[in-house]
Amino acid sequence: MEIDQNNIFKLCKELGCCDACCLRYLGLKNPSAYENTKDVVTKYAVQETAIKSSDLEDSKDSKTLEDIKKNILEDINIESDINGDSCKSPPSKKRKIEPCVTCLGILQEETWADSFEMVKEVLEKKRYACNTFACALSAPMATILRERVVALHLEKSISHYDANALTPLKEAWKWSFGTKLATHIGKILDSGAVSPLLITLNIDYLDDLQELEALKTIAATLFESRSQQRKRFSTEFTRRVVEQALEDVTLEMIQAASESCCLPQITAPAKCVSVVCTHTPMYLGGRYIKLSRELPQTPWILGGRRVMPSSVQEIIFQPLAEFYGMSAAEAERRLKLVAAGREDVDVRCLGDGRPFAIEITDPQRQLTSEELAQACKVISSGGEVIVKELVPIVKEDLALLKKGEESKTKTYHALCIKLSHSELDEVDPDSPVTVTDADLERINSYRNTKEGDEAKIEITQKTPIRVLHRRPLLTRTRHLIELHAEKVPGHAQLLYVRVRTSAGTYVKEWAHGELRRTRPALPDLLRARTDLLALDVAAVHLHWPNAHFPTQ
């Protein structure tokens, strides 16, 4: 059944709604209607006045429809230019704007000037290179209650009115305020799913919480329940709880709960109190080669004091922070290193290096390929860390790093020492300990898995004693996929071991056995005591990175 839109418009106006809110209650969801509210509402205002006119043709003082339209256009309370540059009427003739009873002035152009300036000030300070933006609104919760009151009035007065047709405040605001803001700041309005730059306006209303107090009477059971669970619900009013309280409410219930009027008088319109501009994080991917045996991956600080003067993370972050003009404290907060595992302080990472990503929070811009190349040059200049390439990646690529922690394999080069004769050696116990061909044969031929299995050796490892302070005591099954040992020329007691392992294998503990907490370990294969002298990560077998070049 067709609804009388003129009556909806008329009642909304009588209740004190602004033009934009009238269109919202009419259910209009065409963005252009809110971009040109003045032109759209004229149709309804003209029709209303024409109906009131007894007879345009017979009356001596009658006016033509065009005359009525002209008078209405003059009377509609909208400034032609928010900054006053093209407003021809003297300021003294401007009518004082009454805040809308529903949106509290949020959709009225006359309240936007300060918000525009606040946004512009933040953008000028942050200097984003992005030429598009999305906007978001944090509105007072009282607007939810007020919207419901007006909708109930419409349902009571107009047959078949559907309150669910109401266009959300945030949508109407985006289509009206957002469009004008785009012109003011010189950027293109887009959706949050497309533009990386989000501008959020926080609107405050002086009587917000006071007006919501009526809900405690309307939905007493709901608020009593929340009061009993104070630890769970730290905030008395939230958008969700306000909506819950109004789900089955009637106009009579609201009128009974309100001390004066279900639409209290507005002493002052809602006001923008802050603007937050944020750019979605950007991500860089690369691999680092670590040449130092005295360098942790991340800052090593114990009891508030540094153990090592620097770290891989800090060396990589330094040139990036300079490009964005970040202080050391800001870089620590806005830059995040995500790596495919980590090596110990005294372990080098060679070959192609370890895959890593950097998350840059709220970047002003995407670094150019020339800047990324310069960053690599600066990182590598110190001789401790080498990064050959940094490329843009996307957030979804980080899943590959996380997955790699469980599925990747790594090849290690270990320099080990044989500390005792093998139980199988037929030599004088007092003779020098040496690595024999038989030792190498036992290591290289050992297998405890089935032929055809990918892994050559299956081991069990208890959590190493050295990491028990930060990891639970567990026994884990790990695999050695490849294993090969050879002599070290000129050093009879040393052997060079190349081993490819599954993710999470503690190679140090495998090399010396750690009081038989790892079995079978190298001492079990060799039938002699062994220890580790030096360890290198020779390769991290993970396809990384995949380059992406996002557009602004």
Q: Is the pLDDT of residue 76 over 50?
A: no
The answer to whether residues 208 and 301 belong to one domain is no
> Comparing 438 with 66, which gets the higher pLDDT?
438
H-state helical runs in 229-336:
239-245, 251-257, 312-324, 328-334
Grade residue 45 by pLDDT with cuts at 50, 70 and 90: low
Average pLDDT, rounded, for the chain? 88
Starting from the edge strand earliest in sequence, which strands make up the sheet with 188-189, in order? 188-189, 132-138, 197-204, 271-279
Q: Is residue 550 a part of any domain in this protein?
A: no
The answer to whether residues 347 and 303 belong to one domain is yes
Grade residue 68 by pLDDT with cuts at 50, 70 and 90: very low
State phi, psi for 89 to the nearest 5 degrees: -75, 140
pLDDT (0 to 100) of residue 69: 44
Q: Is residue 433 a part of any domain in this protein?
A: yes
Q: What is the CATH number of the domain that holds 446?
A: 3.30.70.3190
pLDDT (0 to 100) of residue 404: 73
Q: Which of 405, 429, 454 is the last residue of a domain?
A: 405
Domains: count for the chain: 3
Q: Is the pLDDT of residue 19 over 80?
A: yes
pLDDT (0 to 100) of residue 83: 40
pLDDT (0 to 100) of residue 54: 44
Hey, which residues does 488 pair with through a beta bridge? 491
The answer to whether residues 352 and 420 belong to one domain is no
Q: Is residue 242 a part of any domain in this protein?
A: no
pLDDT (0 to 100) of residue 48: 54
Q: Is the pLDDT of residue 313 over 60?
A: yes
What global pTM score does this model have? 0.79
Q: For 178-187, 222-231, 510-519, which range has the lowest pLDDT when averaged over its residues?
A: 222-231
Instruction: With CA atoms as reference, report the closest residue to 40 among 31, 49, 51, 53.
Output: 31
Any long-range contacts for 263-266 (C-beta under 8 Å, 24+ apart)?
A: 263/15, 263/16, 263/101, 263/146, 263/149, 263/150, 264/207, 264/211, 266/98, 266/99, 266/101, 266/104, 266/105, 266/207
**Domain that includes residue 306, residue range:** 281-405
Q: What is the CATH number of the domain that holds 357?
A: 3.30.70.2510
What DSSP state is assigned to residue 497?
Answer: E
Q: What is the mean pLDDT of residues 160-182?
A: 95
Q: Is residue 198 a part of any domain in this protein?
A: yes
Q: Which of 405, 421, 449 is the last residue of a domain?
A: 405
The answer to whether residues 341 and 466 belong to one domain is no
- Cβ proximity of 34 and 20 under 8 Å: yes
pLDDT (0 to 100) of residue 2: 65
- Cβ proximity of 474 and 489 under 8 Å: no
Grade residue 427 by pLDDT with cuts at 50, 70 and 90: confident
Q: Is residue 547 a part of any domain in this protein?
A: no
Q: Is the pLDDT of residue 65 over 70?
A: no
User: Which residues, at least 6 apart from 465, have a Cβ–Cβ distance to it below 8 Å?
Assistant: 514, 517
pLDDT (0 to 100) of residue 450: 94
User: Which residues, at least 6 apart from 6, have a Cβ–Cβ distance to it below 8 Å?
Assistant: 44, 47, 48, 51
C-alpha distances in Å from residue 475, one per residue of 210, 462, 504, 518: 59, 4, 12, 9
User: Which residues, at least 6 apart from 289, have a Cβ–Cβ distance to it below 8 Å?
Assistant: 349, 350, 351, 352, 353, 354, 385, 386, 387, 388
Q: Which of 405, 438, 462 is the last residue of a domain?
A: 405
The answer to whether residues 267 and 297 belong to one domain is no
d(CA 516, CA 501): 19
pLDDT (0 to 100) of residue 424: 85
Instruction: With CA atoms as reference, report the closest residue to 69 among 83, 56, 50, 88.
Output: 50
Question: pLDDT exceeding 90 applies to what percent of the chain?
Answer: 72
Q: For 57-61, 446-450, 514-518, which range has the lowest pLDDT when averaged over its residues?
A: 57-61
pLDDT (0 to 100) of residue 90: 46
Q: What is the mean pLDDT of residues 263-269?
A: 89
d(CA 296, CA 344): 7
Q: What is the mean pLDDT of residues 344-361?
A: 97
The answer to whether residues 361 and 487 belong to one domain is no
Q: For 42-46, 355-359, 490-494, 520-524, which range has the lowest pLDDT when averaged over its residues?
A: 42-46
Q: Is 454 exposed, middle or buried (0-12, 13-18, 19+ CB in 10 A)?
A: exposed
d(CA 83, CA 211): 32
pLDDT (0 to 100) of residue 86: 41
For the record, the structure tokens of 390 come out as: 């940094």
d(CA 105, CA 378): 53
Q: For 5-19, 84-98, 369-383, which range has the lowest pLDDT when averaged over its residues?
A: 84-98
Q: Is residue 249 a part of any domain in this protein?
A: no
For residue 59, the one-letter residue type is: S
Question: pLDDT exceeding 70 applies to what percent of the chain?
Answer: 88
HSE-up of residue 297 (Cα within 13 Å, Cβ side): 19
pLDDT (0 to 100) of residue 197: 96
The answer to whether residues 398 and 477 belong to one domain is no
Grade residue 408 by pLDDT with cuts at 50, 70 and 90: confident
Instruction: With CA atoms as reference, report the closest residue to 210 among 229, 236, 228.
Output: 236
- Cβ proximity of 282 and 360 under 8 Å: yes
The answer to whether residues 382 and 492 belong to one domain is no
Grade residue 181 by pLDDT with cuts at 50, 70 and 90: very high
Cα angle 36, 41, 42; round to 5? 105
Q: Is residue 72 a part of any domain in this protein?
A: yes
Grade residue 43 by pLDDT with cuts at 50, 70 and 90: confident
Grade residue 410 by pLDDT with cuts at 50, 70 and 90: very high
Q: SS3 for 533?
A: strand
Grade residue 80 by pLDDT with cuts at 50, 70 and 90: very low
Show the 3-state SS of 162-225.
CHHHCCCHHHHHHHHHHHHHHHHHCCEECCCCCCCEEEEEEEECCCHHHHHCCHHHHCHHHHHH
The answer to whether residues 363 and 498 belong to one domain is no
d(CA 394, CA 357): 10
Q: What is the mean pLDDT of residues 81-86?
A: 42
pLDDT (0 to 100) of residue 232: 67
Q: Is 537 exposed, middle or buried (0-12, 13-18, 19+ CB in 10 A)?
A: buried
pLDDT (0 to 100) of residue 226: 78
The answer to whether residues 397 and 262 belong to one domain is no
Reduced DSSP (H G I as helix, E B as strand, rest coil) percent helix, strand, coil of the chain, to 5: 40, 20, 40
The answer to whether residues 162 and 295 belong to one domain is no
Grade residue 426 by pLDDT with cuts at 50, 70 and 90: confident
Q: Is residue 222 a part of any domain in this protein?
A: no
The answer to whether residues 177 and 304 belong to one domain is no
pLDDT (0 to 100) of residue 56: 43
d(CA 444, CA 501): 15
pLDDT (0 to 100) of residue 87: 40
